[in-house]
Structure 1
Amino acid sequence: MIRRFLRDRAASAVGGGMLAGWALTLAVYRPGFAMYDTLMQYRQVLSGRFDDWHPPAMARLWQALAPFGGGQAPLFVAQVTLYWLGFALLALPLARAGRVRAALALGVIAILPPFLGWQVVVLKDAQMTAALLAAVGLIGGAGLAGRRPGGAEWLGAAALLLYAVLVRANAVFAVAPLVAMLLPLGWRWRTALALGGIAATIALSPLVNHRLLGASDSGVTRTQPIYDLAAIAVRAPGAATGLPPPVVAHIRARGCVKPYFWDPLSDSGPCGDDVAPLAHMPMARLDLLWVQAIAAHPLAYAAHRLAHLNSTDRWLVPWRWPGAAPTIRSERNDLALRSPGAIARALQRFGGYVVETPIGWPFVWIGLALAGLVALDGEAVLARALFVSALAGEASFAAVSIASDLRYHLWMMIAAAIGLAVGWPAFDRRRLCIGLALVAFACIPAIVARIALPLPPQTYAGMLDWAD
């Protein structure tokens, strides 16, 4: 009786803490930060004309929430609420089971500056993370409570997972494995379900975006082939990439193929005119050219993708590699999208310092997820599912990624952290310590790189022209 009473008190305290975290987040960070992508999407919401460069599912949700208020506030409230709800649904059963330290660890994870600092920015990455956290809370929380999820929980989770894959193009690489691992299936069925889910989502998403959600084709699907073809052309002179030698020479001279991002090759970039023939090529022909170039020059392609992977995972990069620090204020605009107050800005500045530590390095969390997965030595369905989701999602960046912003890795980092907290009793301590030691060892060259490499420009325009 006494033990049960103490567990109930602990659960009440944890629940109160989660509720306080949610309320304080809303109070301190209202109405949420609006970045450039936020502005572009809000213009579509106001005009009623959508394209698929930004997720039309998010724009439609924003449109549906308009009666609750103008600006970014409705979406901000929604994503913050789902974020804290996911943590609460996992922490409460842990506390009731006597695992108070694990429940408290989830509270610490929720307020880590690299996580919360990006979660209060109204962007598709935060929307995806919030939806996934709430879905995991519904299904995983039931498992932690020692019961099977009910029909209503599965239905709610399914809606959230569907939104997650529609709001972020490569979310399916994390979502499909997550679902497969949470279901009571054998490994063959899990693999088939994950691969089938990925294939079906890739095939059906354009139909949903264009026909069901009414978005026009913006050409966003061309960015990946253009980025890779330009890189192959620069790294393998004479390669059949659809770019003539003088154009390739100009792209090389301007340094437009950058590991950091594809933007110099965009319409408004310094080499946009050079790749215009690719941008206007029929999609089927562009995809064929892309596949043929990769097959003909695998080493050039691999070198390019590894360079980008290093950049986006922030391993051997300079100190203050751009795109990591949470934004301090909303982008200047004429749409009445305001910035949060002074306390929020101060906390975001603090987050800017924290992301320069290993806490803000995606490769560290990849290593932690891998170490946790290998060290699991018992029944830990939720932890295993989170680790697999994090690693599968990150693996997709090896082939499907064109920019290096930290926010793209938000789900992976949080999933790895939660997996470590909830899976703790099931770890083989020896294997886990070996894994943690290897992660620490990988940090050594990362620290050396941050000391030795020159400081990069801290502006978008500077990165466009920087010879990296």
Structure 2
Amino acid sequence: MQVVKGGSGRGLGQLLMNRWLLVGVCLLLFLAFFLLRFPGEPNSDSNSQYHQIVTGQFNDWHPPLMARIWEALTLFGAGTGPIFAFDTIFYGCGVALLASLPARRGRWLCAYCMIFLAAQPMLLMMSVNIAKDIMMAVMLLLAVAIIGAVQEGLVAARPARTLCWVLALLIVVMAALVRSNAVFLVAPMLIFAGRPALMARPVLMLALSAVGGVLLVPASNIVNHRILGASDAGAIRSLQIFDIAGIMVRGGDDVLADLPGAQALTQDVHRCYSPIMWDTLAYAHWNCHVLKNVEQAIRDSGGASLSSRWTGAIRRHPLAYLRHRLIHYNSTLYFWVPVHHTEAVRKLNTAGNRGGSFKNRLLDQVRYSPLTSPVMMVAIALVLLPWIIAALYVSRDALLRVCAILIWLALIYTGTFLLVGVATDQRYFFFTTLAVCLALPLALSDATIRAMMRRHSALAVATVGVPAAILALTVVARYMLPPPV
């Protein structure tokens, strides 16, 4: 009998090179995750939404569409289990469909890397949360996968293609309603679906995203209030008071100088303000009631409204506003910050605050690893984008376009937090991390990009060097800056 060396390895390789097996591995992976972590983990936001479902009184402080979807899912049971299943199904199906596209081309390593990067512990730890950030992300993921499958030719029949376009558009609209700043992603998704060549024109992409987002804000408010039946809770007040406080702390004390009790209000702002999150200005947990007191003072004075004072403060103190937004953005990206810097505000006894079990310390190392921090995802996306744009000029490859839209969505979505971010939490950037993790194997396996990198080796080295430098700075900050107290 002749023995063929390496036969078992080739046999295993042949076994793995089956698209149905690939899809099955992906779905089984997410099924195991679902069973292990059922029924998911609620937080204060989702508890508030569930209370709205129970009472039947909906408001728009949190996305009313998520509450309405959750209300419909209560047909399958009470609590968080049904909506956790909803998110996990979207997540698993989106990853499976997206990974099957490179597999169809024989790019098996890329396909399996996409699956296992999408199911890395960091992402799974965040996706167990019942939160609008997770729901928005998995919706966008599935929409990108459906459009990518159509453009790749996976769906041939015209009626099926039409159905896929309608379904993808519906999911994109739902995602935009599930998180307010996701409205800025509608225009890029429409470009991806209808005019993908425009993704190679960055100025136009950013302009259309900005204009589209601004136009869709009032439209989303109409849907929330008139169709979904949510009352106006004035959620924008958190952003307004956070920005006003940030400006005051940096030299703009005149913003509230004409109000009754201005001196006490100013002292409270300086005592309670934190660039990490707006919550310290509003909740009794920190013995701070700045938002309530400022609103009461404005009513008593009969003068300019909170919105007018907000825009006026930005106009009169643009540098203070810019410093405030940049310092908060640094916090929310987890860049130049100490270990567990958010705990300095929350006052929690966590592993990062010199306590906790071995398990908690291990989980914290995964959750707050500099390697998967939002700033690292942004750095990777920024250095990949020029290569992708250059490749789009010479290639109309459908997978390259999928890679491009994932990077564009990640950067645009993350960029919106520079202007509208009010708190710091890793889960806000779940979509950013997921999109970059899926785009990276697609980019590195693309023949056009790889050929360009071989021709421009110095630029390719810089492509690796920039994220490496960001990682080094992030690690230095973690262990050199003073710990939270």
Please classify the TM superposition score into its range, dividing by the shorter chain length: 0.7 to 0.9
How far does the alpha carbon of each residue in 1:319-371 deviate from its partner, in whole angstroms, 9 at most, with x for none?
12348xxxxxxxxxxxxxxxxxxxxx999875432123223310000010111
Contact 2:118 2:437 in 1 (8 A): no
SS of equivalent residue, structure 2 residue 305: helix
Residue in 2 that maps onto 1:151? 162
SS of equivalent residue, structure 1 residue 98: coil
User: Matched residues in 2 for 1:347 and 1:97: separation?
Assistant: 41
Residue in 2 that maps onto 1:371? 383
TM-score normalized by structure 2? 0.82
* Counterpart amino acid of residue 374 in structure 1: P
Structure (1 or 2) with the larger CA radius of gyration: 2
* Counterpart amino acid of residue 221 in structure 1: I
Residue in 1 that maps onto 2:210? 195
Deviation (angstroms), 1:228: 0.4
Deviation (angstroms), 1:32: 1.1
Residue in 1 that maps onto 2:462? 434
Q: 1:105 aligns with which of 102, 113, 129?
A: 113
1:311 matched to 2:331? The reply is yes
User: Matched residues in 2 for 1:347 and 1:170: separation?
Assistant: 35
User: Matched residues in 2 for 1:347 and 1:10: separation?
Assistant: 37
Deviation (angstroms), 1:67: 1.1
Residue in 2 that maps onto 1:359? 371
1:445 matched to 2:457? The reply is no
SS of equivalent residue, structure 1 residue 444: helix
Q: 1:259 aligns with which of 234, 254, 275?
A: 275
Residue in 1 that maps onto 2:293? 276
Specify whether residues 249 and 196 from structure 1 end up closer, same or farther in structure 2 by C-alpha distance, changes over 3 A only: closer
User: Matched residues in 1 for 2:15 and 2:258: separation?
Assistant: 67
> How many residues are paired up?
433
SS of equivalent residue, structure 1 residue 150: helix
1:298 matched to 2:318? The reply is yes
User: Matched residues in 2 for 1:160 and 1:68: separation?
Assistant: 21
How far does the alpha carbon of each residue in 1:129-152 deviate from its partner, in whole angstroms, 9 at most, with x for none?
111111111112333457788211
Residue in 2 that maps onto 1:230? 245
1:246 matched to 2:263? The reply is yes
TM-score normalized by structure 1? 0.85
Contact 1:241 1:290 in 2 (8 A): no
Q: 2:176 aligns with which of 159, 165, 168?
A: 165
Specify whether residues 449 and 206 from structure 1 end up closer, same or farther in structure 2 by C-alpha distance, changes over 3 A only: same
SS of equivalent residue, structure 1 residue 240: helix
SS of equivalent residue, structure 2 residue 78: coil
Q: 1:39 aligns with which of 28, 47, 60?
A: 47
Q: Which has the higher contact order (CA 8 A, sep 6+)?
A: 1
Percent identity, aligned pairs only, is 31
Specify whether residues 63 and 11 from structure 1 end up closer, same or farther in structure 2 by C-alpha distance, changes over 3 A only: same
In the alignment, structure 2 segments of 5+ residues that lack a partner are: 1-9, 344-356
Contact 2:125 2:367 in 1 (8 A): no
Contact 1:113 1:351 in 2 (8 A): no
Specify whether residues 367 and 192 from structure 1 end up closer, same or farther in structure 2 by C-alpha distance, changes over 3 A only: closer
Contact 2:149 2:155 in 1 (8 A): no
In the alignment, structure 1 segments of 5+ residues that lack a partner are: 324-344, 458-468
User: Matched residues in 1 for 2:359 and 2:216: separation?
Assistant: 38
SS of equivalent residue, structure 2 residue 254: coil
User: Matched residues in 2 for 1:237 and 1:199: separation?
Assistant: 28
Contact 1:247 1:274 in 2 (8 A): no
How far does the alpha carbon of each residue in 1:370-401 deviate from its partner, in whole angstroms, 9 at most, with x for none?
11101223232111111111111111111101
Contact 2:410 2:432 in 1 (8 A): yes
Deviation (angstroms), 1:33: 1.1
Comparing 192-201 with 139-148, which one deviates more in the overlay?
A: 139-148
Specify whether residues 275 and 130 from structure 1 end up closer, same or farther in structure 2 by C-alpha distance, changes over 3 A only: same
How far does the alpha carbon of each residue in 1:42-91 deviate from its partner, in whole angstroms, 9 at most, with x for none?
11111111111111101111111111111111100010000011101111
Residue in 1 that maps onto 2:352? none
1:70 matched to 2:85? The reply is no
Q: 2:482 aligns with which of 444, 454, 463?
A: 454
Specify whether residues 235 and 141 from structure 1 end up closer, same or farther in structure 2 by C-alpha distance, changes over 3 A only: same
Specify whether residues 416 and 236 from structure 1 end up closer, same or farther in structure 2 by C-alpha distance, changes over 3 A only: same
Contact 2:256 2:266 in 1 (8 A): no
User: Matched residues in 2 for 1:9 and 1:277: separation?
Assistant: 63
1:407 matched to 2:415? The reply is no
Contact 2:269 2:281 in 1 (8 A): no
Residue in 2 that maps onto 1:61? 69
Deviation (angstroms), 1:173: 2.5
SS of equivalent residue, structure 1 residue 32: coil
* Counterpart amino acid of residue 429 in structure 2: H
User: Matched residues in 2 for 1:205 and 1:196: separation?
Assistant: 14
